[in-house]
């Protein structure tokens, strides 16, 4: 089942699924007609035998979703740690794994950043959370929280700021990188850590912020 936002900028893809997954894990998605390389998406929700994914419109996969059977593979990656009273920070569709985390474990505080109100109106935001819109960033609000356990997911530029401001706390970053195999064989999602090169698909997608070099580029 496909559900589109009011202006079609976002999609919730919901599918029957009898398996298991934990917050922070992801699946690769394609269809019987394409794209040739499956695309990775974090789980947005999983309950009552249904799994859902939050997708931003405009990608290659979108043109196939209405016309061909969807194929998913996974779950991949390591789940998020269950933390006591976490501060959860998201930017854009990086809200997907945060939403799944909340549905499974609850939250301490949530600061969700959106580039437009369409996404805000489209997703489920818990009561007593904070939502901000450009040009205000989630970090502008989150830095005033006193909570020490933090999980953040969003664009890399946002994660750089989160690490700069909150990096001395117990901070976990959910990384986003281009992938092909989702098994660590193609080496397309390499990042540099204090332990050397790691791969987002099999070693992540969650890493401790202190371990990750967000300025490193894989050549």
Look up residue 197 and give its two tokens.
């090169």
Q: What is the mean pLDDT of the chain?
A: 95
pLDDT at 219 over 60: no
Per-residue pLDDT band at 109 (split at 50, 70, 90): very high
**pLDDT tens track for 115-148:** 999 999 999 999 989 999 999 999 999 999 999 9
What pTM does this model have?
0.95
Structure tokens at 132: 């901000």
Do residues 183 and 202 lie in contact, with contact meaning Cβ atoms separated by under 8 Å? yes
Q: How far apart are CA 191 and CA 215, in angstroms?
A: 9
| Dihedral pair phi/psi, residue 61, rounded to 5° | -65, -25
Beta strands in 21-177 (DSSP E): 26-31, 34-47, 50-56, 70-76, 87-91, 109-114, 130-133, 149-153, 170-174
In sequence order, the β-bridge partners of residue 196 are: 193
Task: Grade residue 217 by pLDDT with cuts at 50, 70 and 90.
Answer: confident
Average pLDDT over residues 174-178: 90
pLDDT score, position 218: 64
pLDDT in tens, 24-55: 999 999 999 999 999 999 999 999 999 999 99
What are residue 3's DSSP bridge partners?
Answer: 12
For β-strands 50-56 and 10-16, DSSP reports them as: antiparallel
Residue 155 has pLDDT above 70, yes or no: yes
Domains of the chain by range and CATH? Answer: 2-76 (2.40.30.10), 87-213 (3.40.50.80)
Alpha-carbon 155 to chain mean position: 10
- The whole-number pLDDT of residue 124 equals 95
Q: What share of the chain is helix, strand, coil (3-state, %, to 5)?
A: 20, 35, 40
């Amino acid at each position: 089942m496909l559900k589109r936002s009011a202006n079609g900028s976002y999609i919730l893809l919901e599918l029957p699924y009898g398996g298991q997954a934990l917050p922070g894990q992801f699946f690769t998605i394609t269809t019987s007609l394409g794209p040739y390389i499956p695309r990775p998406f974090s789980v947005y929700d999983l309950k009552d035998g249904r799994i859902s994914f939050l997708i931003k419109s405009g990608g290659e996969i979108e043109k196939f979703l209405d016309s061909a059977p969807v194929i998913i593979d996974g779950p991949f990656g390591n789940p998020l740690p269950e933390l006591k009273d976490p501060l959860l920070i998201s930017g854009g569709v990086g809200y997907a794994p945060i939403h799944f985390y909340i549905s499974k474990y609850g939250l301490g505080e949530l600061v969700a950043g959106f580039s437009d109100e369409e996404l805000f109106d489209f997703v489920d935001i818990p009561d007593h959370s904070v939502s901000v819109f450009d040009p205000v960033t989630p970090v502008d609000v989150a830095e005033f929280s006193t909570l020490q356990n933090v999980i953040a997911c969003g664009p890399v530029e946002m994660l750089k700021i989160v690490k700069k401001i909150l990096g001395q706390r117990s901070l976990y970053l959910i990384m986003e990188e281009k992938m092909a195999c989702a098994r660590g064989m193609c080496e397309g999602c390499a990042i540099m850590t204090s332990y050397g090169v790691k791969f987002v698909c099999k070693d992540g997608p969650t890493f401790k912020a202190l371990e990750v070099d967000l300025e490193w580029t894989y050549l």
